[in-house]
Amino acid sequence: MESVRKANTRLRNYPILLTRCSEKASLYAACVSRDINVQQKICETEFKEFLDCIRKTAKELKTKL
């Protein structure tokens, strides 16, 4: 049950991670919603920036993703 508790703790941190990276998330969402025919890797730079922000914030909070 320890693993379940740890997983629940990580999931509770996701809103914090998303809040701290809201600007990058908005840029990525705008890129994806720009065109109705989204193609693979069309918003790769925005996604990488968003993912880097999430990883950096998780590291600052000393939590896993």
Q: pLDDT tens digits for 18-57?
A: 999 999 999 999 999 998 888 888 999 999 999 999 999 9
Domain tally for the chain?
Answer: 1
Residue-level pLDDT at 32? 92
Domain residue limits at 53: 2-60
- Residue in 65, 64, 56, 45 with CA at minimum distance from that of residue 20: 56
Phi, psi of 30 (to 5 degrees): -65, -40
Count Cα atoms within 13 angstroms, Cβ side, for 32.
11
Report whether 46 contacts 24 (CB < 8 A): yes
Residue with tokens 């997983």: 7
Residue-level pLDDT at 6? 85
Does 35 map to a domain? yes
Residue 65 has pLDDT above 90, yes or no: no
Does 65 map to a domain? no
